[in-house]
Structure 1
């Protein structure tokens, strides 16, 4: 029996514990679709030529920054350039677009981590619990470990900048989608990196306070994704150019669907798009 779901897309929600498979749910309109259950099944997705901003719901001809209309892009703190580059946080200059939002999201503990996404990268996250951080799952990391705890977003950006002189800070999404990478000794990488940035880190502690940056003795988290078959030659689907597609869902990793014919689509990129999903 064919199942059909219609409405605005949102990025997939994720949940996982160590060594368990990541569970994916797709918000679409008023529905929440269990995507793991669809792997191996034939699906189709059709863009209905309508986009609504994920923040204000305004109808927009073009989506910016993964789902925002242009007025929200230029007015919301969550769309400011310092979200991508936290070392450029300008709250202390009195120029934050939304001071209350900044106080709620930027002035709490952040963690600097290492992750294996096909290459080892450094990153920051606010969410570290007993379960796996959504940040790691969204990036398609198969391993991750926390390095440092800091008191706010600005400090996390400054520490990340020190690390970026020695290690990548971006995921190569094509490499990430081409298979499960070989395991890396992230604890050894962490210790090596800590030694390389030790002098600069000491200077930052002098500036911010000795307790502002603390090392976290954490384990390496193992993350498994629901994938039957990885693509060999990646062909990316863009809903603006290919508004309708169908095929067998081969797997999910990060925020990507993998389909037969080596096709992939980044669902997060099309947040706010009004679509119809059919499952056969």
Structure 2
């Protein structure tokens, strides 16, 4: 079976285990169904996810020009505290920014390696945690816009990491911790304008199970620019990574906008 298309982050379905789909323009692969089979990946070119032109990808699936002009990759994406749409202030495109920023957001704790604090839109729960490879997660507070979520994350950053140790995550080295107890200790540390939302927020713990037959002991990252052709036996999926029997891991998110042929052998 041969599949051709442009890489974009895998779509997921919250299940036990999580279902993964690699979706192309004209077809898709249910990744769970090809675990324990050999697959061959060939890099064939670039296609910007924004403008569709065959330009070299700069970051996040965008060419250089689109990365510095599109509202989809403004600074407020990575730093929610910079959001200004609630004030009617434009960064790159106020209509788009209003649609994305002024909607319910969740500040959460997740454990993929260590305890991490993060922000996501409510509509992205639990997708955001799946993409990070979290084993479990809990909501700290739900707020009505991205700015309030951002200042909450900033207030808590000194207590927790805001990044995932991806190597530990892929090797399933996950810190044992009581997320509910940690969450309950945070109310007094929230910004004053956020505290009223704490008791209204769902505090159930999400547990996430990934389709992995074998976790890698020693990790080698597949770099399509240096190794444009690779073949290996797929042993699992976690986060946005494909895990292979020889210890090779392939981060789909890193190579968004790359055109590939994928053959299932």
* TM tier relative to shorter chain: over 0.9
4+ long deviations beyond 3 Å = 90-93, 210-215
- Contact 1:7-1:276 at 8 Å conserved across structures: yes
Q: Which residue of 2 aligns with 1:219?
A: 204
For residue 52 of structure 1, the aligned residue among 39, 44, 47 is: 47
* Count of matched residue pairs: 264
Q: 2: CA distance between counterparts of 1:264 and 1:149? A: 34
Paired position in structure 2 for 1:80: 74
Mapped pair 1:66 → 2:60: yes
Query: 1:239 Cα deviation (Å)?
Result: 0.5
Change in Cα spacing, 1:150 to 1:87, as seen in structure 2 (3 Å) is: same
Q: Is the contact between residue 46 and residue 244 of structure 1 (CA under 8 Å) also seen in structure 2?
A: yes
Q: The residue matched to 1:75 in structure 2 has which SS?
A: coil
What is the alpha-carbon distance in structure 2 between the residues aligned to residue 260 and residue 66 of structure 1? 27
CA contact (8 A) 1:117 1:139 kept: yes
Residue deviations 1:137-183 (CA, integer Å, cap 9, x gap): 00000101111011100110000000102111111111110115254
Distance in 1, Cα, partners of 2:173 & 2:13: 19
1:247 aligns with 2:243: no
2:159 corresponds in structure 1 to: 166
Q: Distance in 1 between matches of 2:183 and 2:59?
A: 31
Cα 1:128–1:74 change in 2 (3 A) is closer
Q: 1:22 maps to which residue?
A: 18
Q: Which residue of 1 aligns with 2:2?
A: 4
Equivalent position SS for 1:160: helix
Written as runs of structure 1 = structure 2, the 5 A alignment for 1:1-280 is: 3-17=1-15, 20-48=16-44, 50-61=45-56, 63-91=57-85, 92=87, 94-127=89-122, 133-179=126-172, 181-195=174-188, 197-198=189-190, 201-202=191-192, 204-205=193-194, 215-280=200-265
Distance in structure 2 (CA, Å) of the matches to 1:135 and 1:73: 22
Counterparts of 1:119 and 1:211 in 2: how far apart (Å)?
A: 28
Q: Which runs of 5+ in 2 are unaligned?
A: none
**Is this contact kept in 1: 2:141–2:197, CA < 8 A?**
no
CA shift for structure 1 position 269: 1.2
* TM-score, normalization by structure 1: 0.89
Say whether the 8 Å CA contact 1:142–1:180 is kept in structure 2. no
